[in-house]
Amino acid sequence: MVVGLLTAPAVSQPTTPDAPPIAADAQPPTGGDLEIKPWSFSLSASTYMVPDDREYIQPTFTADHDWLHLEARYNYEAVETGSLWAGYNFSGGEQFKWQITPMLGGVFGETDGIAPGYEATLSWWKLELYSEGEYVIDLNNSAESFFYNWSELTLSPVEWFRFGLVGQRTRLYDSDRDIQRGFLVGFTVDKVDICGYVLDPDDDNPTFVLTVELSF
């Protein structure tokens, strides 16, 4: 019996298959297919050369994260006046792409008020329509409440170059026209965009604007 037990084949035990090797650089899952969109920023400065008036610079800073839009402006509603904004980004479309951002802002400085506003872009093929507007409700004098607007219609024959039409309604400086109209030419190199504008080119002394924007 002892010899039989020693010479009998061993009963195999159930085993589990070997787990596949784990790569050294493998990372743990981060929530399935959830995409985390990073922040994006832009900083621009527009230099206004207004006839029979002083030159000034209008800076704007924006920050976007998914649906959230934040913005700060200076010398937009009035000289030596700032405004802070928060908005919600909506976008969609394939051939006709669109984005609209309703916003609410606070204005402070030479003008004090609150301002509902928007920024909107509609693009198709090589054409793009951009418009931004706001209605400033002056808290000190309701008669001074005013609708500001800046709009552009551009054609981009190549990715880095565009030209088109521009219109502006502002009370920041005196103008003979309620809506100033003109032309624009813009260039984009990497993350830098440079655009020049001529408003009321048929006047003897038109208004010139040069804008430089950095995206990061």
Q: CA 207 to CA 197: how far, in whole Å?
A: 8
Q: CA 183 to CA 154: how far, in whole Å?
A: 10
Q: CA 131 to CA 123: how far, in whole Å?
A: 12
Q: CA 208 to CA 199: how far, in whole Å?
A: 6
- The CATH number assigned to the domain with range 37-215 reads 2.40.160.40
Tell me whether strands 146-158 and 192-199 are parallel, antiparallel or unpaired. Answer: unpaired
Taking the whole predicted model, whether its pTM rises above 0.85 is answered as no
Q: How many residues does the chain have?
A: 216
Q: CA 32 to CA 99: how far, in whole Å?
A: 27
Q: CA 86 to CA 71: how far, in whole Å?
A: 6
The predicted-structure confidence for 34-50, as pLDDT tens digits, reads as follows 466 799 999 999 999 99
Tell me the CA distances in angstroms from 161 to 1, 46, 149, one per residue in order. Answer: 96, 19, 24
The predicted-structure confidence for 117-157, as pLDDT tens digits, reads as follows 999 999 999 999 999 999 999 999 999 999 999 999 999 99
